[in-house]
Amino acid sequence: MISSAGPQFVFAARLEDLRAAAGGCLTVRVGGHTLALFQHGNTIYAVDNRCPHMGFPLDRGTVKDGILTCHWHHARFDLASGGTFDLWADDARVYPTETRDGAIWVDIAPPANPRQHARDRLRDGLERDLPLVIAKSVIALLEGEGGDPVDPFCIGLEFGTTYRQAGWGQGLTILTCLMDILPYLNHDDRPRALYHGLAAVARDTAGRPPRFPVRPLPSLHADIATLRRWFRQLVEVRDAEGAERCLASAIRAGASGRQVADMLFAAATDHRYLTTGHVLDFTNKAFEALDIAGWEYAEPILTSLIPAYASAER
C-alpha cells in the first residue's frame, strides 16, 4: 500500500548484518514497527513481521522463488508487494527500502486509506464466507473517531441483496436486528454484534446464485395508485418479475416511503400469514434497514423482497 504522506525513511540495519543473518532474514525494531528484512537476489525487502492472518512471526517463514511462506498456516505472499495468494490471510504490509553507504533505510510512512482496505477485505470475507476476515474488517472499520457502523452495515446490505437469487432472507434479517440494537450495547460489544450479522449474510449467500434485478418500466406514465393496483394483482398470480417491475417503477417515479410501504404491506396482508408470517417480518426489517441506510437503497433492498411475496405459502 502506498503512503498518503511523504516518505519517512529511517535507518533499519547494516547491510552486512543482514547478509550475516541466519536464513538471510534479520528482525529489526524501527519506529514502533517490528520488521523482517530479507535479501532475495540483489534486492532488500522489509515486511511487517506479523503474518496478517493470525500474527505468526514471518521471520520464521521461508522465501523461495520470491514467495514468502508463513509456516503456521502456510499462507503465501509475494515478497515484493506483500500480496497474498491465499485470500483468507490478507496482504502483508511491505515497506519501501533504500540502501545507502552499506546501510538499509526503510520508509515507515503510514499506508494510504486503511479504511478502504478494510472495506475491500470485508467484501472478500462476504464473498468467500470467511468469518475471521469479516471480524477483522469490522474491528478495523469501527475503531477510531471515524468508525461508523453504518458503513459496514451498508456493505452487508448491498452484498446480501445482490448475491442471493431468492432475495431478502434470514441473513439480512439478522444483520438488521443486530444493527437495531447496536446503540444500546456497550461500546466493546458493538463490533461483535455487527460481525455476527455480517457473518449471517455470508452464510446465507454462500453457494447461492446472484440476483439480477428487473428494470423499471421504460416509460413512467402510470400513477402510484395504478402501480399499487397492478402490483397486488401480479403478486396474487405469483408473477415475481412483473411485480418487481411495478415496485421498481414506483420507486423511480418518486413514490414516498409511506406510499411504497402501503404497496408492500397491502400485498403482504391480502392473505393471512404468508409463509407463517415471514413475508411480513422480512418487509418490516427491510424498512428498518432503510431507516438506517437511507432511502437511496430503497430499490435494491425492497425489490429483493419480491421472490418471497410471489412464492409464499398461502
If one counts every other C-beta atom within 10 angstroms of the C-beta of residue 73, the result is 13
pLDDT at 160 over 50: yes
Task: Give the model confidence (pLDDT) of 92-131 as tens digits.
Answer: 999 999 999 999 999 999 888 889 999 999 999 999 999 9
Average pLDDT of span 54-64: 94
pTM: 0.88
Average pLDDT of span 195-220: 95
Q: Which of 161, 157, 164, 192 is nearest to 178 (CA)?
A: 192
Give the whole-angstrom CA distance, residue 202 versus residue 196: 10
Task: Give the model confidence (pLDDT) of 167-182 as tens digits.
Answer: 999 999 999 999 999 9
- All 3 cell numbers of residue 95? 515497506
In the prediction, which pLDDT does 273 show?
Answer: 83
pLDDT at 1 over 50: no
- Tell me the sheet residues that pair with 11: 105
Average pLDDT of span 62-77: 95
DSSP-assigned letters across all residues of 1-18: --BSS---EEEEEEHHHH
In the prediction, which pLDDT does 5 show?
Answer: 56
Q: How far is CA 287 from CA 1, 13, 178, 281, 293, in A?
A: 38, 58, 15, 10, 10
As a whole number, the mean pLDDT across the chain is: 94
Task: Give the model confidence (pLDDT) of 41-55 as tens digits.
Answer: 889 999 999 999 999
Q: How far is CA 141 from CA 58, 120, 134, 137, 265, in A?
A: 25, 11, 11, 6, 35
Give the whole-angstrom CA distance, residue 237 versus residue 110: 59
If one counts every other C-beta atom within 10 angstroms of the C-beta of residue 6, the result is 8
